[in-house]
Amino acid sequence: MTSPRAAWMFVALVAAVSCSYPPNDDGRCKVGLTLNGLGVLDGDYMDGRGNFYIYAAEPRPALLTLLAYTYTFHFNKSAYGGDSYGCDHFGGWGPQGACSAADSAMTRGKWAIFLLDGPVGQAKPTVAAVCEGGCPNWSPDCKDLFNGSPDDPPILCPLWPNKWQKAQTWRILNGTLLGTQLRSANVTSNCCERQPQECDPCSYDTCSDLTTLFSNTCPPHKPSPQKPLTKLQSDCCQTEGSGGPLPHDICACKVAPTVCKH
């Protein structure tokens, strides 16, 4: 029989652990996650819709580097309703995906860093590192990330909380490929804010009037002496094909990059 003191300590422990996670997926790391302690794999991993993070500056230019959690979720017990992550997502949807059976088993239910040789849905992944302790194990309902309605069945995405700062233990694999001698690492993480960009204020009205049926002063075209460009227009507008019924090109804002603020 459990003593009242032991029961109280168990409840307190559960409450403490539960309180380390946000109440819903709005508390996920939304911009980027900075990892330190992994050597060549240190850096900013930028949010890719919450369930994976893309390395901002590739350690190997030919390889896409992702931080992801291997997991498959089925709702209504249907293989046709749900989502997959990590090894279950790479190279095609379903258990194991393009990972080897050993890599799939090693990373299941864990955060890991993968090197991909092509697009996520087609690539064959290589496991670069796997988190053995201290990483979050948090899967809130995330159907809002998939434009789901409140009445839809829950989708339990493995996400990284925005205030998670526990020290972590990672095991490094494929050191030869990475050019590192590390075998294990003590890692810290920080969820970063977005660094404001020059082109953030650019809007449709900033650029739209620079192209007409009779003229185009949108960069890289030369500006008109009668109507000089503002600095925002000069730096942030660009000519694009209309892609529709318009008989002329359109002028649109450049996409402002998302980078971590340090």
Q: Flag whether pLDDT at 57 surpasses 90.
A: no
**DSSP character string of 124-143:** PEEEEEEEEES---B--B-G
Q: End of a domain among 192, 220, 236?
A: 192
**In this structure, is residue 37 part of a structural domain?**
yes
Between the CA atoms of 261, 22, 17 and 171, what dihedral angle is there, to the nearest 10 degrees?
Answer: -40
- Give per-residue pLDDT as tens, 148-182: 788 888 888 899 999 998 999 999 887 656 666 66
* Cα maximum dimension of the chain: 88
pTM above 0.85, yes or no: no
The pLDDT of residue 13:
35
Same domain? 248 vs 121: no
Q: How many domains does the chain have?
A: 2
Does 100 share its domain with 185? yes
**For the chain, how are helix, strand and coil distributed in percent, rounded to 5?**
20, 30, 50
Q: How confident is the model at residue 116 (pLDDT cuts 50, 70, 90)?
A: confident
The CA distance from 165 to 235, in Å, is 38
Q: Tell me if 115 sits within 8 A of 103, measured CB to CB.
A: no
Indicate if the pLDDT at residue 247 is higher than 80.
Answer: no
Within a domain: 67? yes
In DSSP terms, 166 is beta-bridged to none
Q: How far is CA 261 from the centre of its chain?
A: 16
Q: What is the DSSP letter of 260?
A: B
Structure tokens at 231: 């600095």
Contact present, 61 and 219 (Cβ < 8 Å): no
**Do both 160 and 212 map to the same domain?**
no
Mean pLDDT of all residues in the chain?
82
Q: Please give the Cα distance from 135 to 112 (Å, whole number).
A: 10
Report whether 102 contacts 52 (CB < 8 A): no
Is 113 found in the same domain as 217?
Answer: no
Assigned domain for 2 exists: no
Residues 183 and 69 in one domain: yes
Q: Which residue has the tokens 């730096």?
A: 235
Is residue 261, in this structure, part of any structural domain at all? Answer: no
Residues 180 and 211 in one domain: no
Residue 220 lies in a domain: yes
Residue 174 forms part of a structural domain: yes
Domain boundary pick from 149, 165, 192: 192
Domain that holds residue 217: 204-253
Distant-in-sequence, close-in-space partners of 136: CB < 8 Å, separation ≥ 6 = 21, 111, 159, 160, 161, 164, 166
Given 170, 192, 214, the domain boundary residue is 192
Residue at 7 is within a domain: no
Domain assignment present for residue 167? The answer is yes
pLDDT bin (cut points 50, 70, 90) of residue 194 is: very high
- Is the per-residue pLDDT at 115 higher than 70? yes
Q: Quick one: 184 and 234 in the same domain?
A: no
Checking if the pLDDT of 14 tops 80, the result is no
Same domain, 118 and 180: yes
Residues 237, 182 share a domain: no
Same domain membership, residue 246 and residue 152: no
* 170 and 227 both lie in a single domain: no
**What residues pair up with 102 in beta bridges, in sequence order?**
none
Q: 239 with 164, same domain? A: no
User: CA-CA distance, 45 to 50, in Å (whole number)?
Assistant: 11
